[in-house]
Structure 1
Amino acid sequence: MRILQIVTKNTSALDFSLPIYWGLRTQNIKLEATILFCCGNRNDILKGSNFYQSELAKLEVNLMDLASFKPSKSFLTKSLRALSCNPQKNNNYGNTIDKPFTFGYSIQKLIGFKLASRMLNILENLYFGHTNFENFFEVLRPDIVILDNRNHQSFPASNKIFEKIFSSDATKIVTPHAPHYIDPYFAFSHVNPVGKEIYSDCDVWLPFRYSKPHLKHPNLSNQFFYSGYPGLDSDWLRYCKKQIKPKKTRVQCLYIARKFFSKNTKRQGASDFVTMEFSEVLKDLKNIRDAFLQMGVEFELQFKPHPSGRRDLVEQLLEEASLSHFSINLEPVYRNLSAVDVVVSPYSTAVLIPAMTGIPTVVINTDIQKKINSHWDKVCEMYQGLVFFIERESLNPTLGQILQEGKKSFENKDINHLRNYFPDGSISRCITRLLKLRNN
């Protein structure tokens, strides 16, 4: 089986596909897989994550980016790779941030991240926009091309790549970017990459048991396939929990953040309701800090930024939170399952992963969460049914309860509850579907 996966935005696409690659290797199915990161430096998307790169290397999945099509020793290629920001995981604890000393990060911080991003986009479009991808497809000859359901994302040479994909004989699969969407009828972005209707040529995979996109797109009913979410399969989660457990001298609290505005920026209307204000996130961190201080428990906060979050804002936030011990955690939640004691989040579909393994997972009923819940009764039931779905003012006693009782008293409750929405066996369903599509 020859697979080409196109990753255009962030690592959420890998959160879905990585367990499938693992399942294919585990079942000894012959696999030749390549992931194309549609940027000049794949670390723009991977953000320095060791887990993705090491696991994909074990699975012999080839990683490429747009610079892979240019001479590696070219001055322009080296310069654009260097200018890309590749922040490394911070392993130093204390009341200061360990800065990522990379050339690209230093330049971007000097001139401002927004301006640097625009300049880098212009340079990459000029340099990579005229790349010839003909030989690339001829060499790979993929049976299957995996696309993200947000593939309207623009990047250098995007039209060329997508036109080549949709003129090929390969089977196209549109995979989800999260375990569930905002309503029952969503399945893909309405803006498509080649300026015409493409989804009738694709197999569109659905992660959530109660999705009903066929009611909105009856002409595509035969294209929808309920895949489930592979990252919530018990076999995969057991594998992830077998990762080396670090020695812990403090309680490890993982905060899974949303993207948030800069300090003096206020949300304008409801256009970006899933982005938090700086003050909201700061309040959460201070509440967590105060809760542990009142209990007299030494803890370390691992701050996991949103994949699209800005490093400079995270640094500013953590400095203002006055935490004694903290780190910026750029690894996927899969990597943290053996390393954290409790998880707190204002809203993120990523919380479903630790909750499905029995880690005490606190979901704060923020305005974002309320908005999400209001769109879909099944999603509302799922989150409200979690053991620690709480209001902000209940954070202190909730953390106290978790520390006093330990996870043994309630670890199976969330697992049993979530299995009503994400039945086990998604990896097997996906592999069976892949084999069927390849053979047709």
Structure 2
Amino acid sequence: MSFSWAKHYEPKSDLTKWLDDRLPLPRLVYGAIGAGYPVPRNLNYFWNFGVLAGVALVMQIVTGIIMAMHYAPNALVAFDSTEHIMRNVNWGWMLRYAHANGASFFFIVVYIHIFRGLYFSSYKAPREMIWLLGLVIFLLMMATAFMGYVLPWGQMSFWGAKVITGLFGAIPLVGEPIQQWLLGGFAPDNAALNRFFSLHYLLPFVTAGVIILHIWALHIPGSSNPTGVEVKSESDTVPFHPYYTAKDGFGLGVFLILFCAMLFFAPNFLGHADNYIPANPLSTPAHIVPEWYFWPFYAILRAFTFDFFIVPAKLLGVLAMFASILLLFFLPWLDRSPVRSGNYRPLFKIFFVVLLLDVLLLGYLGGAPAEEPYVMLSQLASAYYFAHFLIILPIISKIEKPKPLPFSITESVLGKDNTGIAGGPVLQPAE
């Protein structure tokens, strides 16, 4: 966001002037998160979760690098090396629990971040690229988390790898060669473990690179806000520092308190007991499930139980699971309402709550056994998920009568526009 009233960086000392001429890093930081970056004055705490996601990624990278110094990606000793980290490495138990629970907290803040974007339509023009890059980050997170779940080489790690990579086998003609290429053989073993370890170590740094692009794209149109009204004047903004650094600091404090409570008092609450049993290819667990943050997509995968003409049910489930994520890439063009914020869209708000409940139900069903009534409920919930984006949302965009929007961000905060700009409540288009 570039405004004429934004403060520009001015080096104060000879050293900072010298550095600014040769490597303008302080200028970059000042313009990105300092007083040189004006931000809408009405952002609420739902805008904290982008920063929290960045903090969670840093925690994962730091704890992961340290654990990689002690981990052995070999099927014969991988489980023992994980136990060695827990029992013999100084503070190893805390590092591993911080890494495992950090992944869960990373997904929690990202899911809240995504649903905030859905409610306030942060994907609409001119912010489509921010949304698309965010979804790329989400896909990278999912790939990284899946490969990390395999590394402890417990029962759920082994069978999770076998089931998930087996999904590619459902693709006609090329499916089995792709599966063998991913595993480096016909079943998860040393080759798969080495590949997953290598990629699990690499992908967080790729994710960090895409996050930089995500933030860069954000700074071009600027942050969205709860009203969906664009910035009109200097009074609509405040400097990011100190106003939102303080607000983000408070949110970070709450996040760390909850994270530490989980880490020290319930570190295994979100894990699976079978993963404390060494991997055994000859003993299939009674109930194979992925980590909880994959459960909604796992429920969609299992919702298809019968063939459709010549298309097998397994392939339909795989296509539906991937489509449930790829569908979000088209959201900026599926929602054609000129109003962004759900606060001013009464009909949209109702169906957004239904979507949220539907996704929570899918999450519960994904962790439930593959039996009735869970399978039938998964089919109904999956059908509604796709219907919401492909049918309901486009119809709402055409028939909904939104509430009048405030003339400016300042008016939404103070009740009037104190800049002297005349005008009453008007419908602010998204473009």
- Which range, TM-score by smaller chain? under 0.3
Structure with the higher fraction of residues in helix conformation: 2
> TM-score, normalized by length of structure 2?
0.26
> TM-score, normalized by length of structure 1?
0.25
Structure with the higher fraction of residues in strand conformation: 1
